[in-house]
């Protein structure tokens, strides 16, 4: 009886210690969630570099290291050439935009005061502005966050370069953490996630270029000032689906409203039309090759990651959701629930 009680006590203590260890590691992982997000950012950078380097490996038979370095040189040269060709004009329009927006807001206030309903709306906006006046005290903190973000960006890019040079070694390093019976499944899941992320990034790049160009051309024809800068803003905002395009439309509509009602309506039609073109043509084209993430899930992912992780969470919310959705569809829906159609869908084998 004494020995049985000792064995029972020893087993209870072991289980308790194990549970405490799991809880401690979970809390530690949560505390380091910002680090994990930077790691994922490095994975995104590596994915872009590998997508650019793979044709060099395939057709020129270059080694991975040299192919990645050439891909990096190509991307830097492309950005430098774009800056040389269009940079001065974009800078000029951006400076004009920063000067024109306050003027446009002042003109809009005058028009709102001309009517009773407009004056009521303006009072509500001013009340919100007074409540948010405390934001000015956060300027030093915001400046510090910007400096920290730049440093983090440098770390992410450097880490992404190293990951792109030796992707298999990092993937296999993760696979080694799992039991032998699960290694092949984990390897397949990581490969599938990488493929989904690469296709999503390529689709987003195409979407950003198309939306930015069409918006700039359309606003220029409509007579909205600084159309090039507004188009660039709309293109970059496409990286954060749903929320980004809505936010980026605000400055353009404000400038259009300061001109006249016809220009405002034309700008609104342009923003809505380009958005519909992107959602009804470009997105379906991308979803033929990668499992489609429902729009509602994407929206709540942006809000959730933004609340939890701040601006970086908003930036990486959609690619994180793409990876998570791919893994859930393969391992849970496909294998646990036995829906092999879902597994084929994320594998790119479903019928189109």
- Tell me what the mean pLDDT of segment 42-56 comes to: 87
Give the per-residue pLDDT at 28.
Answer: 67
Residue closest to 201 by CA, chosen among 80, 112, 318? 318
Give the per-residue pLDDT at 131.
Answer: 46
Greater confidence, 30 or 21?
21
Angstrom distance (rounded) from CA 24 to CA 192 = 31
Give the per-residue pLDDT at 310.
Answer: 72
Angstrom distance (rounded) from CA 348 to CA 40 = 23
Give the per-residue pLDDT at 86.
Answer: 64
Give the per-residue pLDDT at 72.
Answer: 86
Contact partners, residue 281, CB within 8 Å, separation at least 6 = none
Q: Which residues in 61-216 belong to E strands, given as ranges?
A: none
Greater confidence, 60 or 108?
60
Give the per-residue pLDDT at 36.
Answer: 81
Give the per-residue pLDDT at 129.
Answer: 52
Average model confidence (pLDDT) for the chain? 76
Give the per-residue pLDDT at 336.
Answer: 67
Angstrom distance (rounded) from CA 270 to CA 39 = 38
pLDDT higher than threshold 70 for residue 77 = yes
Give the per-residue pLDDT at 135.
Answer: 42
Name the range with the highest mean pLDDT among 74-78, 86-90, 146-150: 74-78
């Amino acid at each position: 009886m004494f020995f049985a009680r000792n064995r029972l006590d020893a087993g209870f203590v072991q289980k308790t210690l194990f549970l405490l260890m799991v809880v401690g590691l979970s809390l530690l992982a949560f505390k380091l969630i910002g680090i994990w997000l930077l790691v994922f950012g490095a994975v995104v950078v590596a994915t872009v570099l590998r997508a650019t380097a793979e044709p060099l490996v395939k057709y020129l038979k270059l080694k991975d290291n040299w192919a990645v370095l050439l891909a990096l040189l190509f991307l830097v040269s492309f950005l430098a050439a774009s800056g040389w060709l269009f940079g001065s004009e974009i800078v000029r329009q951006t400076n004009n935009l920063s000067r024109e927006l306050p003027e446009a807001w002042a003109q809009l206030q005058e028009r709102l005061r001309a009517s009773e309903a407009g004056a009521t709306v303006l009072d509500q906006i001013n009340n919100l502005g007074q409540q948010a006046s405390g934001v000015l005290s956060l300027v030093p903190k915001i400046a510090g966050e910007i400096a920290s973000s730049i440093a983090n960006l440098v770390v992410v890019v450097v880490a992404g370069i190293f990951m792109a040079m030796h992707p298999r070694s990092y993937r296999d390093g993760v696979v080694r953490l799992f039991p032998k019976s699960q290694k092949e499944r984990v390897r397949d899941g990581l490969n599938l996630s990488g493929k989904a992320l690469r296709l999503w990034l390529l689709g987003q790049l195409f979407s950003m270029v198309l939306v930015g160009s069409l918006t700039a051309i359309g606003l220029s024809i409509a007579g909205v000032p600084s159309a090039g800068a507004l188009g660039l803003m709309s293109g970059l905002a496409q990286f954060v689906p749903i929320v980004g395009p809505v936010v980026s439309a605000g400055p353009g509509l404000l400038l259009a409203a300061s001109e006249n009602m016809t220009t405002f309506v034309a700008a609104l039609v342009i923003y809505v039309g380009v958005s519909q073109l992107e959602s009804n043509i470009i997105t379906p084209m991308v979803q033929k090759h990668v499992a489609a993430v429902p729009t509602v899930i994407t929206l709540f992912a942006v809000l959730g990651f933004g609340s939890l992780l701040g601006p970086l969470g908003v930036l990486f919310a959609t690619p994180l959701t793409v990876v998570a959705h791919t893994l859930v569809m393969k391992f849970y829906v496909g294998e646990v629930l036995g829906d092999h159609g879902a597994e084929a869908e994320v594998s790119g084998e479903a019928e189109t």
